[in-house]
A and B are shown apart, each in its own frame.
Chain A
Amino acid sequence: MTYTDPVFLCAFLPIVILIYNVLPQKHRWGVLLVSSYLFFWSISSKLIIYLLITTGIMYVAGQWINKVQGERDLKLKEIEKEHKKEIKAKYNKKTKSIAVLSTILLLSMLIVLKYSNFLGTNINSLFGFLKIPVKLAIPKFLMPIGISFYTLQAISYLVDVYKEKIKADKNLGRLALFISFFPQIMEGPICRYSDTAEDLYNGKKTTYTSLTFGTQRILFGMMKKLLIVDRINPVIIEIFDHYPNYDGGIVAIGMVLYTLQLYMDFSGVMDIVIGIAEIFGVKMPENFKQPFFSKTISEFWTRWHITLGTWFRDYIYYPVSLTQKCRDITAKARKKIGNYYGPLIASIIALFCVWACNGLWHGDAWSFIFFGMYHFVLITIERLTEPPVKKLLEKTKINSDAFPYRLMQMIRTTILVFIGELFFRAKGLKSGLNMFGKMVFNFSFAQFGKVFEMGIDVQDIVLVGVVVVAITIISILKEKKIDIRQSIANKNVFIRWTLYYLLIVAIILFGTYGIGIVHLDPIYANF
């Protein structure tokens, strides 16, 4: 069952909404929890055990940290001021140990289930290279849906409890719902406890506004998924699977289409997820903010998969750059290379850790690690060249705020993103490099007509073009901070309903679904 499955949209979701609203407020969180477990079970069946273990670890470790912190506070009240620091350090060491241990437990589960194959294969290759006559047996595990997402949520909860940003939740039900809420379990967004737990537990009644706004958002997401993602899929499969048969021009088309597909797929699911949550009165964090309007790669990553970016920022980048070692490096470097480049060294070290993890988080293959390193290098170059570029702009009197300059930056960033996604989708690093080589050394427009032999026709291309233009216009309006949904809500009922009907009919009529259609699995659900 996926979010665009007719069973989900026409049966599961309406039934959950109905039961949720019929029951008294105090029981509504229970409806959400039971439906979340049912949803999880429908996809991963017995593997739900991993979700339950994660919830258990969160609960026990959270309560334990809370207890130790409580004991510390009592102790601090009793003792003299001069001993307070010592007591604090003693108890903090204990809470840190619990947080570290539980995080290791959570990460171990993720690593064993997700990376056993990758690690085993690479270790065996290394043994082979070193001529060590040992071959490890590589176990195969089935992965529960969303493990990469809910594990990060669980870690953020425990770290936040440890850092006393939040209190450990004594209510196991609320904690279980926070980690398993069915719309977000498959592809996120990666929520913080302080973002959603309370809203989920409160069980706000569905209102006219939440229902219509949520439905609009769901329809918008479905438009992206059903009108574009599966329609262009045959072309992408053909190009990426048989790239040796094509020249660089066709490979470039495949690269652009895959980036479009990935964006439409992931942001489409996010629209559906956020829309569903809205119907239940829960405000989920946004995961996309018009990423293709970014002027730099750093900015791109603050607009694309935002919740993953902020997670890495808060739980890897800051902790690494604030380690004593990094602070020492910064202090020394400041003296030698100044106030801009000095702190940059520690920042680059932290960035390296972030992007290595980011690459690995996406999958167990070297191409994903390359994808992470590619962005690390781009961001590092951006940071290193920032002062000279600024100086150059001043000297040449180029206005960096002028539209042509910003447009040039956006186009440059988009092209760099395209290249990154080429490696992301390619079947292995070698294929990625070969495909990139084709684009550089063998580019031509000669084979463009072959696209029509790959399972799409002129009507499909026109349709995709129209939808992309429509989504671009909506993105521009959003960028200008125009609240489209509110603008629609302000119109009279005739215009409003006509718009809804047009959107629904467009999805039903032009959607890619039905007999003979093999749907692309939600791309990010596999990470």
Chain B
Amino acid sequence: MKKLILRFIIFILILFIILLILSRILLPKNNTDEAGMNNSRAMKILGEESGTVDMIVYGDSEAYASIIPLQLWNDYGYTSFVCATSGQTLPDSCRIAYDTLKNQNPKIVILEADTIYLSSEISVPVSRVLYEILPIMEYHNRWKSLSLNDFIGKIEHTGRDSNKGYYYLSKEEPADDSRYMEESDEIERIPRLNKVYVKLLKNYCELKGAEFAIVSVPSVNNWNYKRHNALKQFAEEEGIEFIDLNEKKDEIQIDWSKETADKGDHVNYPGAKKVTKYLGEWLNKKNILENHKEDINYNFWKEDLNIIISTGNYY
């Protein structure tokens, strides 16, 4: 039996070394789509100058469709970045936070609430851990596009996103909001594992000197009072600030007949402007972020805004 265990350990060790070598080859050498980086829009934050982003948002598509960092810059001179990805689970949020908080020192980190109700299956964190130990598991599909640079090149992050993670949606597909946020005392249970991850993320952000808050952006399809009640209760228990923009429907006044891109799932650009306006006022009241508009070290933000304006699509 001892011999069997010894053989097994040697076999696994050699296999591990082979996979580590292959992981190094397959790992994208830049934070761009062309280099093969997954979730490259969110990971473009790695291309931002160190220590220049004061607010980071994690979450799923609700976050990247609703929060416009350049509007916050334009209105208040706040620097922010939306590191949200499609269907981002909390283990993903934690992983991205670990990467992004290495060279950014935000004053506040926001977690968009929808992700708290996404999959809580144990396979999600297990896969995440596997991906971390052996990046070949995450980037194995890159075998199709390997180049010489993948074998000999250094890893660098030069990709930047002028939109700072916001994803522009122009479509209009009206939603039926007749039952949107109907008041209720009921509670939709937050998956236990997700609670653990929220606490982990909060602790990590606080360790890095950032305030942690949860924000729920407006969505007819993904949010309701049961979720509001559950999250409010959880946030109170954990001492987390929770802003439910769905509850503020009278203040934000999203017109669900025009301001949604997909029948109430996500807000479109006009909706996002209203959401960001409210968020800006809230941040302004909190008075924790600096106005960098006059700081010449932040001129690249002005350039980014000009790039987006020059596209002529919006702003």
Contacts and interface: CB of A to CB of B under 8 A. Distances in A.
Contact of A505 (B8, B19, B122, B123): B19
Q: Which of A10, A501, A514 has the most CB of B within 10 A?
A: A514
Nearest to B4: A208
A504 B15 contact: yes
A508 B19 contact: yes
Given A10-B126, A497-B14, A515 B38 contact: yes
Contacts of A505: 18-19, 22
A457 B144 CA distance: 10
A6 B130 contact: yes
A211 B1 CA distance: 12
B305 to A, nearest CB: 31
Nearest to A2: B123
A459 B144 contact: yes
Nearest to A504: B15
B314 interface: no
Interface stretch (B56-64, B133-141, B149-157, B185-193): B133-141
Interface in B92-146: 122-123, 126-127, 130-131, 136-138, 140-141, 143-144
Interface string B1-36: 001100110010011001100100000000000000
Contacts of B8: 211
B160 to A, nearest CB: 22
A10 B127 CA distance: 10
A7 interface: yes
Nearest to A208: B4
Contacts of B39: 515
Contacts of B18: 501, 505
Contact of B126 (A6, A459, A501, A513): A6
A510 interface: yes
A382 interface: no
A509 B136 contact: yes
Interface in B190-207: none
B140 A514 contact: yes
A497 B7 CA distance: 11
A498 to B, nearest CB: 10
A176 to B, nearest CB: 25
A514 B15 contact: no
Contact of A510 (B19, B38, B127, B143): B143
A19 interface: no
A511 interface: yes
Contacts of A479: none
A483 interface: no
A510 B137 CA distance: 10
A509 B140 contact: yes
Contacts of B38: 515
A208 B143 contact: no
Contacts of B126: 6-7, 10-11
A164 interface: no
Interface string A181-200: 00000000000000000000
B144 A7 contact: no
Interface string A471-507: 0000000000000000000000000010011001100
A239 B11 CA distance: 43
B123 A508 contact: no
B31 to A, nearest CB: 15
Nearest to A11: B126
Nearest to B130: A6
Contact of B7 (A1, A208, A457): A208
Contact of B136 (A7, A500, A501, A508): A508
Nearest to B92: A515
Contacts of A11: 126
Nearest to B144: A459
Contacts of A211: 4, 8
A527 B131 CA distance: 33
A509 B136 CA distance: 7
Contacts of B22: 505, 509
A1 B141 CA distance: 23
A45 to B, nearest CB: 13
A500 B127 CA distance: 23
B92 to A, nearest CB: 9
B144 A1 contact: no
Contacts of A510: 140, 143
A459 B3 CA distance: 42
Given A208-B4, A501-B14, A515-B38, A6 B140 contact: no
A299 interface: no
Contact of A1 (B15, B123, B127): B123
A7 B130 CA distance: 10
B140 A501 contact: no
A456 B130 CA distance: 26
B130 A10 contact: yes
A7 B122 contact: yes
Given A7-B122, A497-B11, A497-B14, A508 B140 contact: yes
A467 to B, nearest CB: 14
A6 B136 contact: no
A69 to B, nearest CB: 44
A509 B14 CA distance: 17
Contacts of A511: 140
A514 B141 contact: yes
B42 to A, nearest CB: 12
A248 B143 CA distance: 34
A6 B123 contact: yes
Contacts of B11: 497, 500
A5 interface: yes
Nearest to B125: A7
Contact of B143 (A457, A500, A509): A509
Interface of A: 1, 5-7, 10-11, 207-208, 211, 457, 459, 497, 500-501, 504-505, 508-511, 513-515
Closest 9 CB pairs of A and B: A7-B123, A7-B126, A459-B144, A509-B140, A208-B4, A6-B126, A515-B38, A7-B122, A6-B127
Interface of B: 3-4, 7-8, 11, 14-15, 18-19, 22, 38-39, 122-123, 126-127, 130-131, 136-138, 140-141, 143-144
28 contacts: A5-B123, A6-B126, A7-B126, A10-B130, A207-B4, A208-B7, A211-B4, A457-B144, A459-B144, A497-B11, A501-B14, A501-B15, A501-B18, A504-B15, A505-B18, A505-B19, A505-B22, A508-B19, A508-B136, A509-B136, A510-B140, A510-B143, A514-B127, A514-B138, A514-B140, A514-B141, A515-B39, A515-B138
Given A501-B14, A508-B140, 19 more contacts: A6-B123, A7-B122, A7-B123, A7-B126, A208-B3, A211-B4, A211-B8, A497-B14, A500-B11, A501-B15, A505-B22, A508-B137, A509-B136, A510-B143, A511-B140, A514-B137, A514-B138, A514-B140, A514-B141
